[in-house]
Every structure is written in structure tokens, then in C-alpha cells.
């Protein structure tokens, strides 16, 4: 646009501002859920420097702002992947087969806390937690039951597991082999993102250095043997749930991503050998436009840095593929049916932002694990967006909007500013060590809660239009005997397996941990002998030690 025209628009905008000042304005601040002030009107003045070819480009082309696939949803709808798991392996297997029958297109395993923390169900530390907020998996035997009658060469599986990711991944691979499926046929994702555990989700086991080694061992093993596997899902979801702003989620997640890239390079791997299998995982919070811009900015930042700073050449290394989950922290315990509406708005932002797969929360997840009915509505929400709303018909439909492009740019530059601060602190690990991320998130979480308490941030049914009615909704109850049953099965397993062979494999693993060899083949060997998760993790703890956090608030 020429300068003369812009000057004219500028003058008209000033007139409009004068007029609008004379009119009434609402009392609520016009801010995003992250506390970002939003202008009343965006015009060509806000996108003056936008260069279509350089900043947007075409879908499937650098810098991928408009999407990583050439055809996006015109080619194939995103993967509908509901995160699910509870009770024991057979309870969860039934739920998975139900979801697949209802048209779900991928699986996503939620493990219980003992599994996430590397304890067997019979550990003292597991008391009261077995099968509670996910499925209890102790050994390959449980994994076999979990995927009974599920064709793992045709269904891809995402597993939310971090500290002990290598162990659960090996169980999945061993089960596939037992089903007669080659490792090159198996596809899926392990979360395997330990940095965001230190930053936000707090399910860590080992200190950073050995944790990063296990991660790069997985990168290398997958590159050679499991080419369809996404070796990591670099996650902003938990950073956001812990209370961060949208810009912090964006910046901290990408900073983690670059830290993994550097770890892989430092481990001697060629960037284009492992980077194509890096994937991401973002939150879809309630502020519709800010979220859409966050996804667009994320793709552009990733592509630019991977190319310019790290010299990646394979275009698959430049493409940020990501999963999205609607924001659990946006759900309310009051009038839980309203959560269906919130989730719909959030899911639509993920779709308009170009997600590759999506989990929609069930309305009752703020109260308990979801019932079958609630999870079905959540899945139907995605199906309505995909097949009725028209949102999947055209690619990146909001591109070119003055507001969307201005906000996308703004988020990108805020992320760049955070990268500078993190670099100044000495990188991601140093910033974790001095509590930088943790404090930034705690501050944002506190500010948000204050805004809600003071009514500056409206939450319908909570601090406005609150009727005080008691919640009336059926909740899923976990079988109270699940712990006892699981412990009993574990005892039987330990009696029938070859205990001496298990012991030898664990000794071999410890020897490997003291050296530099890739540990995955050794873990796979132990898993196939039915060594339990807790035994394998304990063996590694002896060599690696455990992480401790300095508690901040």
C-alpha cells in the first residue's frame, strides 16, 4: 500500500478514535485471558510491514505460517485423539475399543501417577494412586492387555510419558513385535519432554543430564529402527495449565524445542536425521484469536530458526507438526455443561490454527476422569467442527486479517524477547536451575487468579451469573479394588518369569548406564524378559540419581 493511502487511513482512524471516545464503553477491560490489551480496531496500519511471500507463504511452504501440509484439511481431517486411560489395562482397553468404534482415529494413553513416576503398583509410594488418573502399567504383560485386539500397525498411539518414556516405549515396541508387526510399521508419539516437567508439570525422575541422554538415545534408536515414530512431543500444554500466558507458552515451548535440537547435535546426530520426528503439543485456551495467532507464530518461528540458526536442510525438519488439547484449566466445576461450549470454542481455534491432531476435553474432567457419555460428546464436538461447520473447507481462513496478522507478529516478537532473556541466563537448563520459568509462570498464575477474584476476568457461572446450584452430574468411579488386583497380578508375574534372566538384564542395563552406549536396546531386552517398569527405573536411579526441586511460590 502506498504511503499516501496509509496517511489517509491514519487520518480517518484518528477521526474514528475521536468519535468512539465520545461513546459509552463497557467496564470489563478488553484483554485476552493472558492479560494482553486488545485494540478496538485493526487496520492496514497494523500490518504495514507484512510481506506475503516472506512472512506467510503458501501452505506446505516456508515459513509454514499458513500450515505445514500443502492440502491441510482438504486432504485429510486432523487426527481425533482423545487422551484416555483409567483403572487397569483391561478397563482402558475397553474404553479404547469403544472410542475407535465411535470414529476416533488415533489413541492417546493416560498413565496413572505411579507409572508416570516410575513406580510399580506394589510400591509404598503408589498407595492410593494405582489406576486413579490413568491406567496402571507395570510390565509388558499389562501393555499386551492394553492393546489386545487393537491393530498397532494401523492405529497410531500417543503416550503421555516422560521420565520413564524409554521404558514404556520399549514395552509398546515389544508388544508390536509379539503381534508380528515390524518396528518400521509402528507409528505414534511419546511425550518424552523432560524439560517441561522441570518447568511445569513436575513429573520428573532423573536429573537433567541423564534425562537428556535417554532422550537423545531415543532419537538415535528411532532414526535407525522406528522411522514412523515421533520421538518427542515438545509440550506447551502443561506450561499453560500451570498458569502461563499465551506468549510464555509459545516462547518456553520453542526454547525447549531448540534445547533438544542442540542436545541432539551435541550427541553427534545430524540435525536432519532426528528433527523431522520432533513434534509439538499446545494448549487451546479460551481466548479464540490469541490462540490462533499463537499456532501461526509457532510454525513461523520454528521454521526460521531451524533453517537460519541450526542450518536444517530437510524441509521436514522445518515443519512444526503439533497436537492440541483444549484447556483443562478453563473448565469450571460450576455448571459443568458450560464446559462443552468452552471446549467447542477452543477446539475451533486449534482447527483454524492448523493443528495436526486434537483432544477435546470432556465437560466433567474438572471433577473426575470422564464418563463414556461425556467423552462421546467431546468427540462429537470435533466431528461437528470437521464435517458441519465448514471450518475445514479452506486453509488458514483468517490469514490477511489485520488483527490476526498483527497479533501473530506481536507474539513472535514477544517470544524472541524471551529467547534473548533465556540466552542471557545461560540457556534453558540454567534458566530452570535458577527458577526463571517457574517464577514467571507462578506470577502469571497468581495474577490470573486475582483477576478472576476481582471480577476483571469474567468466568461465567463462577464469578458472574453464579446461581450457587449444586452440581448434578454422573461421575466415573474407579473400581476401588483396582490397586489390590493389580498388585496381585504383579506378584504372579514375578513368580512365573525367569527371575535370574531379569536380574542379569538389569545388571547389563546399569553397566550400560555407566558407559556411553545407546541404552534403548538394553531396556528393550529387559522389558521382553518382563522386568517391571519399577525395576528398570530403580536400576537406572542407582546410576543416575534423582532430581530435586527447590520449592518456590
Partner 1 sequence: MNSKKVRILVAKPGLDGHDRGARVVARALRDAGFEVIYTGLHQTPEQIAETALQEDVDAVGLSILSGAHMTLVPRVKKLLRDNGMGDVLMVVGGIIPEDDGRELINNGHADQVFTPGEPLDNITDYIGSKIRS
Q: Collapse the DSSP code of 357 into the 3-class scheme (helix H, G, I; strand E, B; otherwise coil) and give the result.
A: strand
CB of 453 to partner 1, least distance (A): 5
Under the binding rule (CB under 8 A), the answer on residue 197 touching partner 1 is yes
Number of residues that bind partner 1 (CB under 8 A): 46
Q: Collapse the DSSP code of 423 into the 3-class scheme (helix H, G, I; strand E, B; otherwise coil) and give the result.
A: helix
Separation of first and last alpha carbons in the chain: 50
Nearer to partner 1, 269 or 462 (CB): 462
Site of grid cell 486479517: 401
The 8-class DSSP code of residue 526 comes to: H
CA proximity to 228, closest of 181, 195, 270: 181
CB of 480 to partner 1, least distance (A): 9
486: Cα separation from own chain's centroid:
29
Q: Which grid coordinates are listed for 445?
A: 498464575
Under the binding rule (CB under 8 A), the answer on residue 202 touching partner 1 is yes
CA proximity to 519, closest of 217, 190, 211: 217
Return the number of other C-beta atoms located less than 10 Å from residue 33's C-beta. 21
CB of 433 to partner 1, least distance (A): 15
CB of 114 to partner 1, least distance (A): 6
Stretches 24-32, 327-335, 378-386, 489-497: which one binds partner 1 (CB under 8 A)? 327-335
Site of grid cell 497494523: 46
6 CB-contact burial (10 Å; exposed 0-12 / middle 13-18 / buried 19+): middle
Under the binding rule (CB under 8 A), the answer on residue 236 touching partner 1 is no
Task: Mark residues 122-161: x for contact with partner 1 by CB under 8 A, - for none.
Answer: ---xxxxx--xx----------------------------
Q: H or E element: which one contains 83?
A: strand 79-84
Return the number of other C-beta atoms located less than 10 Å from residue 21's C-beta. 8
What gap in Å lies between CA 173 and CA 229, rounded to an integer? 11
CB of 133 to partner 1, least distance (A): 5
Nearer to partner 1, 145 or 369 (CB): 369
What gap in Å lies between CA 394 and CA 359, rounded to an integer? 21
324 Rama sector, left if φ>0, alpha if ψ -120 to 50, beta otherwise? beta
CB of 147 to partner 1, least distance (A): 24
CB of 228 to partner 1, least distance (A): 30
Task: Mark residues 276-295: x for contact with partner 1 by CB under 8 A, - for none.
Answer: --------------------
Residue from 1, 30, 41, 333 in contact with partner 1 (CB under 8 A)? 333
Identify residues 99-128 at the interface with partner 1 (CB under 8 A): 113-114, 116-117, 119, 125-128
Residue from 372, 434, 475, 545 in contact with partner 1 (CB under 8 A)? 475
Q: Which grid coordinates are listed for 57?
A: 507463504
The 8-class DSSP code of residue 190 comes to: E
Under the binding rule (CB under 8 A), the answer on residue 460 touching partner 1 is no
Under the binding rule (CB under 8 A), the answer on residue 329 touching partner 1 is yes
CB of 526 to partner 1, least distance (A): 23
Interface with partner 1 (CB under 8 A)? 113-114, 116-117, 119, 125-129, 132-133, 197, 201-203, 241-243, 329, 332-334, 366-369, 442, 445-446, 449-450, 452-453, 459, 462-463, 470-471, 475, 478, 549-553
Amino acid at each position: 500500500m502506498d504511503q499516501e493511502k496509509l496517511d489517509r487511513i491514519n487520518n480517518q482512524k484518528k477521526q474514528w478514535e475521536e468519535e468512539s471516545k465520545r461513546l459509552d464503553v463497557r467496564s470489563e477491560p478488553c484483554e485476552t485471558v493472558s492479560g494482553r490489551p486488545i485494540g478496538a480496531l485493526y487496520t492496514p496500519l497494523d500490518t504495514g510491514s507484512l510481506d506475503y511471500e516472506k512472512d506467510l507463504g503458501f501452505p506446505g511452504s516456508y515459513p509454514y505460517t499458513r500450515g505445514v501440509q500443502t492440502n491441510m484439511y482438504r486432504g485429510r481431517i486432523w487426527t481425533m485423539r482423545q487422551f484416555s486411560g483409567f483403572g487397569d489395562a483391561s478397563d482402558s482397553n475397553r474404553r479404547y475399543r469403544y472410542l475407535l468404534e465411535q470414529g476416533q482415529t488415533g489413541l492417546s494413553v493416560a498413565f496413572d501417577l505411579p507409572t508416570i513416576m516410575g513406580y510399580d503398583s506394589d510400591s509404598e509410594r503408589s498407595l492410593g494412586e494405582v489406576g486413579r488418573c490413568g491406567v496402571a502399567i507395570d510390565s509388558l504383560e499389562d501393555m499386551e492387555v492394553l492393546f489386545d485386539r487393537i491393530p498397532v500397525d494401523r492405529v497410531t498411539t500417543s503416550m503421555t510419558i516422560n521420565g520413564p518414556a524409554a521404558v514404556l516405549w520399549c514395552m509398546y515396541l515389544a508388544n508390536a513385535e509379539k503381534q508380528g508387526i515390524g518396528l518400521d510399521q509402528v507409528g505414534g508419539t511419546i511425550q518424552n519432554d523432560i524439560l517441561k516437567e522441570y518447568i511445569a508439570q513436575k513429573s520428573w525422575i532423573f536429573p537433567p543430564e541423564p534425562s537428556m541422554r535417554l532422550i537423545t538415545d531415543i532419537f538415535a534408536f528411532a532414526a535407525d529402527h522406528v522411522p514412523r515414530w515421533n520421538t518427542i512431543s515438545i509440550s506447551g500444554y502443561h506450561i499453560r495449565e500451570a498458569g502461563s500466558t499465551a506468549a510464555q507458552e509459545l516462547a518456553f515451548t520453542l526454547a525447549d524445542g531448540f534445547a533438544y535440537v542442540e542436545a541432539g547435535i551435541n550427541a553427534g546426530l545430524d540435525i536432519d536425521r532426528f528433527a523431522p520426528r520432533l513434534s509439538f503439543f499446545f494448549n487451546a485456551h479460551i481466548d479464540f484469536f490469541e490462540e490462533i495467532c499463537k499456532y501461526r507464530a509457532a510454525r513461523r518461528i520454528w521454521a526460521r530458526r531451524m533453517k537460519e540458526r541450526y542450518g536444517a536442510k530437510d524441509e521436514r525438519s522445518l515443519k512444526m507438526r503439533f497436537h492440541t488439547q483444549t484447556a483443562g484449566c478453563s473448565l469450571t466445576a460450576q455448571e459443568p455443561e458450560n464446559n462443552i461450549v468452552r471446549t467447542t470454542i477452543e477446539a475451533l481455534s486449534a482447527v483454524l490454527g492448523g493443528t495436526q491432531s486434537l483432544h477435546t476435553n470432556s465437560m466433567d474432567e474438572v471433577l473426575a476422569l470422564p464418563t463414556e457419555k461425556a467423552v462421546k460428546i467431546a468427540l462429537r464436538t470435533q466431528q461437528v467442527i470437521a464435517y458441519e461447520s465448514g471450518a475445514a473447507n479452506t486453509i488458514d481462513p483468517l490469514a490477511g486479517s489485520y488483527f490476526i496478522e498483527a497479533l501473530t507478529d506481536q507474539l513472535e516478537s514477544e517470544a524472541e524477547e524471551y529467547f534473548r532473556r533465556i540466552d542471557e541466563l545461560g540457556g534453558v537448563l540454567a534458566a530452570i536451575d535458577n527458577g526463571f520459568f517457574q517464577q514467571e509462570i507462578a506470577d502469571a498464575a497468581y495474577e490470573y487468579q486475582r483477576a478472576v477474584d476481582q471480577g476483571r476476568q469474567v468466568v461465567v457461572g463462577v464469578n458472574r451469573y453464579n446461581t450457587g446450584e449444586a452440581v448434578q452430574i454422573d461421575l466415573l468411579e474407579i473400581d476401588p479394588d483396582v490397586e489390590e488386583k493389580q498388585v496381585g497380578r504383579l506378584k504372579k508375574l514375578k513368580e512365573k518369569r525367569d527371575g535370574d534372566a531379569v536380574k542379569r538384564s538389569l545388571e547389563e542395563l546399569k553397566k550400560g548406564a555407566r558407559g556411553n552406549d545407546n541404552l534403548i536396546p538394553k531396556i528393550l531386552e529387559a522389558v521382553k524378559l518382563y522386568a517391571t517398569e519399577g525395576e528398570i527405573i530403580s536400576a537406572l536411579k542407582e546410576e543416575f540419581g534423582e532430581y530435586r526441586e527447590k520449592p518456590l511460590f
